[in-house]
Amino acid sequence: AQSVTQLDSHVSVSEGTPVLLRCNYSSSYSPSLFWYVQHPNKGLQLLLKYTSAATLVKGINGFEAEFKKSETSFHLTKPSAHMSDAAEYFCVVYNQGGKLIFGQGTELSVKP
Amino acid sequence: DSGVTQTPKHLITATGQRVTLRCSPRSGDLSVYWYQQSLDQGLQFLIQYYNGEERAKGNILERFSAQQFPDLHSELNLSSLELGDSALYFCASSVESLNTGELFFGEGSRLTVL
């Protein structure tokens, strides 16, 4: 069965510093992986997706994620955090049944 | 703005009652998905409809039901409500019948059961 584990429930960074949100996945085959973002009182928005093409995936708002099969990881990064990045981030794996399995979420706080 | 509209945004009701949540998908999208988000369970997939037909089922309780109408809007009916049903209910839409993972979410309907 497919699953994702987000290693941090909360991450706090200062504005202008790098962001790293960690995600490990479990899958018996080559997975499709996604990152979604949920701003306060908003719906979820797709940030980026990996579907077995390039292992480094670029998304919106300067975010990117690298698929590392050997480490079963799909960490989300951004070189420089902005106040508007404060939100909850979900790592998601697509399972063979055509369903999305969401991680528990990582809340990102950005300090001025 | 994702183009997915959900009503109502907030709903407060009592145990044992029944409520209906409504969702209008993005223009052109044929699939509608319902998700429940709660603090203890996280985001759980409930059910998917494609062009009026049930396409996939997740962790949906028997007390819950959904349908998609010819104009493609969808309704999620929750009955015999319990305190544990308090959650944020999201609707999402996509063009295809097969969930490719690229979904457009509404802003959710927050249900509080007292």
Cα-Cα-Cα-Cα dihedral of A6, B2, B38, A108, to 10°? 40
Position A71 scores a pLDDT of 93
Q: How many residues does chain B have?
A: 114
Position A10 scores a pLDDT of 97
Residue A40 forms contact with B (CB below 8 Å): no
Q: Which residue in B has a C-alpha nearest to residue A96's C-alpha?
A: B99
Mean pLDDT by 10 residues, chain A (112 residues): 91 98 88 93 92 88 94 96 96 81 95 95
Contacts 24+ apart (CB under 8 A), B43-48: B43/A90, B43/A102, B43/A105, B43/B90, B45/A99, B45/A100, B46/B76, B47/B76, B48/B99
Do the Cβ atoms of A47 and A59 come closer than 8 Å?
A: yes
Record: contact A104-B105, CB cut-off 8 A: no
Kindly state the greatest CA–CA separation across chain A: 43
Residue A104 forms contact with B (CB below 8 Å): yes
Do the Cβ atoms of B75 and B20 come closer than 8 Å?
A: yes
Residue A15 Cα, gap to closest chain B Cα (Å):
26
Mean pLDDT over B77-89 rounds to: 97
Q: What sign does the CA torsion over A105, A73, B31, A63 have?
A: positive
Record: contact A42-B4, CB cut-off 8 A: no
Q: Give the count of Cβ contacts less than 8 A between chain A and B.
A: 49
Record: contact B92-A90, CB cut-off 8 A: no
Position B88 scores a pLDDT of 96
Residue A43 forms contact with B (CB below 8 Å): yes
pLDDT value at B92 more than 80: yes
Q: Which residue in B has a C-alpha nearest to residue A106's C-alpha?
A: B42
